């Protein structure tokens, strides 16, 4: 597949009550691997195709008594550059010259919450840039079970996974979707007001 986007860019904001999820956009806080805020505003967006798959995942998790907690969704290209400039590690970050599925609005970073709202033990924290974050890594049986549970929910809902990050899911063939810049969004996420 070539790099030419074939799907139109239409984004929807992911927020309750329209989407029954918990959201903690870590890049809108200082509690991430950069140590600073990447997003000035904590808005959670997805391409409409991805939002439909998210709705299915929410339904499947809910049937089991669980909830989804979203750490990141659409990441404007400007934010991808900020992350890459801080830590240019192609094992855990897409080179912004090629574009990330996040910057196309078709990827999610997330985990599961139990019925009491506690995050499941996944063996590592989100954004732990270590081989222990890989699917199939030698983590505890509990953590492996929980990763498989998340993988089952997301796969059944039509998401693909990234082998090196237990938290990352994306639509298949993400390059069909155009890259999004902050100015493409209804509400700005980045500090610049140049829209």
CA nearest to 107, candidates 163, 160, 146: 160
Positions marked active-site: 165
68, 122, 138, 143 from 132: Cα distances, Å = 22, 10, 7, 11
Q: How far is residue 65's CA from residue 48's CA, in Å, rounded to a whole number?
A: 26
Beta bridge partners of 107: 170
How many other C-beta atoms are found inside a 10 Å radius of the C-beta of residue 127? Answer: 22
Residue 5 class from Cβ within 10 Å (0-12 exposed, 13-18 middle, 19+ buried)? Answer: middle
Gyration radius of the chain's alpha carbons:
16
DSSP E strands: which ranges in 58-150? 67-72, 107-113
Joined together, the tokens standing for residue 92 give 């855990």
Q: How far is residue 48's CA from residue 9's CA, in Å, rounded to a whole number?
A: 8
């Amino acid at each position: 597949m070539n790099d030419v986007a074939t799907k139109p860019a239409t984004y929807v904001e992911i927020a309750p009550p329209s989407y029954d999820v918990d959201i903690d956009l870590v890049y809108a806080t200082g509690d991430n691997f950069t140590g600073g805020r990447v997003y000035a505003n904590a808005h959670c967006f997805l391409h409409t195709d991805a939002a439909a798959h998210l709705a299915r995942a929410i339904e499947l998790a809910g049937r089991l008594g669980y909830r989804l907690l979203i750490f990141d969704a659409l990441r404007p290209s400007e934010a991808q550059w900020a992350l890459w400039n801080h830590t240019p590690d192609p094992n855990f970050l897409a080179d912004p010259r090629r574009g990330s599925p996040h910057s196309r609005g078709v990827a999610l970073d997330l985990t599961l919450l139990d019925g009491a709202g506690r995050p499941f033990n996944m063996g590592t924290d989100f954004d732990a840039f270590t081989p222990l974050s890989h699917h199939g890594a030698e983590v505890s049986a509990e953590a492996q079970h929980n990763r498989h549970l998340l993988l089952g929910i997301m796969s059944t809902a039509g998401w693909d996974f990234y082998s090196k990050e237990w938290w990352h899911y994306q639509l298949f063939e993400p390059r069909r979707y155009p890259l999004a810049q902050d100015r493409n969004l209804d509400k700005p996420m980045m500090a610049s007001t140049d829209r």
